[in-house]
Amino acid sequence: MKILAVNAGSSSMKFQLFEMPEEKVLVSSTFERIGLDKSFYSIKVNDEKTKKEAVLLNHEDAVRLFLKDLLDNKIINDLNEISCVGHRIVHGADKYNKSVLIDDEVISDIEKCIPLAPLHNPAGILGIRAIKEALPKAQNVAIFDTAFHQSMEDVAYLYPVPYEWYTNYGVRRYGFHGTSHQYISNRISSILGTDKFKAIICHLGNGASITAVENGKCVETSMGITPVAGIPMGTRCGDIDPSIVEYVMRTSGKTIDEVMTDLNKKSGLLGVSGVSSDSRDIEEAIASGNTRAFLAHNIYIRKITSFIASYYCILGGADVIAFTAGIGENSIDTRKDIMNALKPLGVVIDEEANKVRSVERLISDKDSKIKCYIIPTNEELMMAREAYELSK
């Protein structure tokens, strides 16, 4: 059975076609700058990647070109071979704690969550509609980023604000990167050979979140009602004193939209360093003696360490700390500095084992009280698995 995983962004669209249940990737493709000048896409077949320029006025153009390439490359002979499509949806509020087949009610619910995810949910809907038009016979499944975190108890997801904010406006912690955290949780269970474990998963990329997991269920997570909360990220500030927003507005004359843009797109590693949102650029700047880049890195490490230590106490210990996503999988220095900061918890790094990028590996020493792993994430595979199970 051929299952297509679709991740639609506001100006991008990613596809992976799987043969299931073998979990074989048949093709992957990424379309960028949709609706903008100089749009292009890349397609990877049999480990050969080709980049092509293309006019991409909208998401329908991306879907049309992708499906055309599937036929032209004889990956499929007929579009009806694609029996099910899994769509990444960023926000499902607290209604959805698992993936679901998409119908009109689900689309309506996704639309209702647009104020909570104004950039992502509209793109998800565009992706759904484009696929439904191009593949009318295929089933469509919504895979919610927020679903994995719905196992949190009220003590974890409620904010200490007027309770009516929750009942009237839905103000609560939702959490994100759920598909990644679920995939890593499943891998930890396989590695340990048990579904009884306590783990702290560090999804460290340009967007970043940390989740405490017990026996495969989310107990706590760092992101909040939106993905700007938690630890500092590439361009997002993470947790700050909310009074800062009012203070900056009054002092600078900036509007709420301008301040929120600053907190979402001009803060984090970029804001402190003044160099870049990319950790690779930060590390290069540190090597050349840039003190602000060094400060940005140290703030990043301290905040991550603080969340891990907090979750260690909430869980009552931890069997595993897992590093995943772009920085977690590839930044040797970031992992080393986090693990060294966790020495009071009994974490001991294996310096040689840590000197790898994007491979699954144990990187803690045999004397470490907590096993630390690099585990590359695979959100698209998790999406394909979810879609496959529902399609059956």
Residue 261 DSSP one-character state: H
Task: Indicate the length of the chain as a whole number.
Answer: 392
Write down the catalytic residue from 145, 241, 319, 333: 145
* Contact between residue 237 and residue 267 where contact means Cβ atoms under 8 Å apart: yes
Closest to 111 (Cα-Cα) out of 91, 140, 97, 133: 91
SS3 call for 13: strand
Residues 6+ apart with CB under 8 A from 35: 11, 56, 57, 58
Sign of CA dihedral 61, 64, 68, 70: positive
Nearest residue to 324 via CA among 213, 171, 167, 193: 213
Residues 225, 172 contacting (CB under 8 angstroms): yes
Q: Cis omega before residue 21 (within 30°)?
A: yes
CB atoms within 10 A of CB 245: 16
Whether 109 is a known active-site residue: answer: no
Q: What is the largest CA-CA distance in the chain?
A: 62
Amino acid found at 115: P
**260 vs 299: CA distance, rounded Å:** 21
Please list, in sequence order, all residues whose beta carbon lies within 8 angstroms of the beta carbon of residue 44, skipping any fewer than 6 positions away. Answer: 27, 28, 29, 50
Would you say the C-alpha torsion 376, 336, 264, 273 has a positive or negative sign?
Answer: negative
The residues that are catalytic are 145
